[in-house]
Amino acid sequence: MKDGEKNAGARYEVVEQLKNARRAQNVTQEVLAERVGTKKSNISRFESGRYNPSLDFLIKMAESLGKQIHIKIS
């Protein structure tokens, strides 16, 4: 597996986990954007995989959903 493929897999997993958490809580992209302090378009781009967020952005998103980010380096 190439590095780009590994990165894409990790990125996809983070996107799916946060998207699933948002949906499970019946939170709209607009409401999440307000909680995070960003625009709905940024949430939409993130969830579609067209936005490469900073770690700070991911932490804000997770915390806004009552979740935490855990990073494992192996």
Q: What is the pLDDT of residues 15-28, one digit of tens each?
A: 999 999 999 999 99
pLDDT of 54: 94
Classify domain 3-64 by CATH number: 1.10.260.40
Domain ranges of the chain: 3-64
CB-neighbour burial class of residue 40 (10 A; exposed 0-12, middle 13-18, buried 19+)? middle
pTM here is 0.84
Which residue do the tokens 């809580």 mark? Answer: 25
pLDDT of 4: 55
